[in-house]
Amino acid sequence: MSGIDDLDALLSVARRAVASAGSSQALTEVRARFLGRKGSLSELLRGIGELPPDERGRAGQAANEAKRSIETWVAERREALERSATDAALADRRLDVTLPGAAPPAGHLHPITHVTREMVGFFTSLGFSVEEGPEVETDWNNFEALNIPPDHPARDEQDTFYLEGGHVLRTHTSNVQIRAMTGRTPPFRFIATGRVYRHDVSPRHSPMFHQIEGFLVDERVTFGDLKGVLLAFGRHLFGDEVLLRFRANHFPFTEPSAELDYSCTLCGGAGCKVCSDSGWVEWGGCGMIHPAVLERCGVDSERYQGFAFGMGIDRTAMRRFGIPHLRHLFEGDLRVLGQI
């Protein structure tokens, strides 16, 4: 096509070629075929210089209009191709909104939280009230009021975290017992849970762990009442077949005092590695509240008696869920916790 008269024919061919392009790549090739340096329209423009002077202006204007027309058709076709590709992709990945959605992974309570709530729920069903206390405690509430003398091994720096101002990180939840009894007149019954701290770092221990503390004060309270409550508590946690064993011991804040064991739930008392082949697992301590403790809290020890008990929540959770190592409770590994 070398003459201006061929422009209409070129536009007709170009329009059909643009309309028939089935992809962006094909459309790019069509554009180059007509508007590229060696394209048909470019060749036609180069022939304008051979026309008579009075025809060059009109021919150049017509060629520019033809170029704009082709550019417009290419742009419109490209937009149509992109819209068609988008529609096809949406159709291929379309969503059926009538189907149930995919639920994200659901979290669950940490084993310690689960066991703590179960323990607290048992005692609140018996009428116990929940009490709380600070983790940074005075020497009086943590030791002195509990009848723990100044030379007692529990006060050693190798066992206790001492802070400035005569305060300590509480070594047990028994500080709540002192705070709850002081200024109150029996009868009352309380349960307390929380973190406690001991200066003990080993594969079998953690410097921070969790305890539950319970105590009841009233008239004519006996050790038999304590045994009945703890037996019901043990069966609630470990099943009706569990047995409890009370071994005589000594604690400054209870008299008489006992260590509490339960029959191993893994071997049924036959003996295994968990219970060191004894058939029993140590659980906690208990006893009748020492009269000196009652008196230091302003409770008449001649009229009222009480019992108290405490045990670790962490090791109870380990037994309940079959967790082999204490560290699994505190490492936060979701691969481990997700199996519980």
pLDDT 10s per residue in the chain (340 long)? Answer: 345 556 778 788 888 888 888 888 888 888 888 777 777 777 766 666 666 676 666 767 777 787 888 888 888 888 888 888 887 777 777 667 777 877 887 778 888 999 999 999 999 999 999 999 999 999 999 999 998 888 877 777 667 898 988 899 999 999 999 999 999 999 999 999 999 998 776 555 678 899 999 999 999 999 999 999 999 999 999 888 889 999 999 999 999 999 999 888 777 777 777 677 788 988 999 999 999 999 999 999 999 999 999 999 988 888 888 777 777 888 878 777 777 6
Partnered with residue 280 across adjacent β-strands are: 263
Residue 197 and residue 273 in one domain: yes
Same domain, 236 and 331: yes
Pick from 193, 188, 92, 86: nearest CA to 133 = 193
The DSSP secondary structure of 51-114, one letter per residue, reads: S-HHHHHHHHHHHHHHHHHHHHHHHHHHHHHHHHHHHHHHHHT---TTSPP-PPPP----HHHH
The Cα 325–Cα 315 span in angstroms is 9
**Contact status, residue 258 vs residue 288, Cβ threshold 8 Å:** no
* In a shared domain, residues 220 and 259: yes
DSSP assignment of 170-208 equals -SSTHHHHHHHHTT--S-EEEEEEEEEE-S--BTTB-SE
Domain end among 92, 121, 152: 92
Same domain (yes/no): 50, 175? no
Q: At what angle do helices 313-321 and 223-238 cross, to 10 degrees?
A: 40
Same domain as 115, residue 74: no
How much is the pLDDT for 2?
Answer: 45
Q: Is residue 176 part of a domain?
A: yes
Q: Can you tell me the distance from the alpha carbon of 220 to that of 288, in angstroms, rounded to the nearest whole number? A: 12
On the CB side of 194, CA atoms within 13 Å amount to: 21
Judged by DSSP in three states, 19 sits in: helix
The reply to whether 205 and 78 lie within a common domain is no
Range of the domain at 88: 4-92
163 vs 159: CA distance, rounded Å? 13
Q: Is residue 100 part of a domain?
A: no
* CB proximity list for 319: less than 8 A, separation 6 or greater: 238, 265, 274, 281
pLDDT of the residue at 46: 63
| Domain harbouring 162, CATH code | 3.30.930.10
Report yes or no: 283 and 260 within 8 Å, Cβ to Cβ.
Answer: yes
Distance linking the first and last C-alpha atoms of the chain: 82
At 48 the pLDDT is 63
User: CA gyration radius for the chain?
Assistant: 43
Per-residue pLDDT at 1: 39
Give how many domains the chain has, as a whole number: 2
Contacts of residue 32, defined as CB under 8 A and 6 or more positions apart, other chains included, come to 39
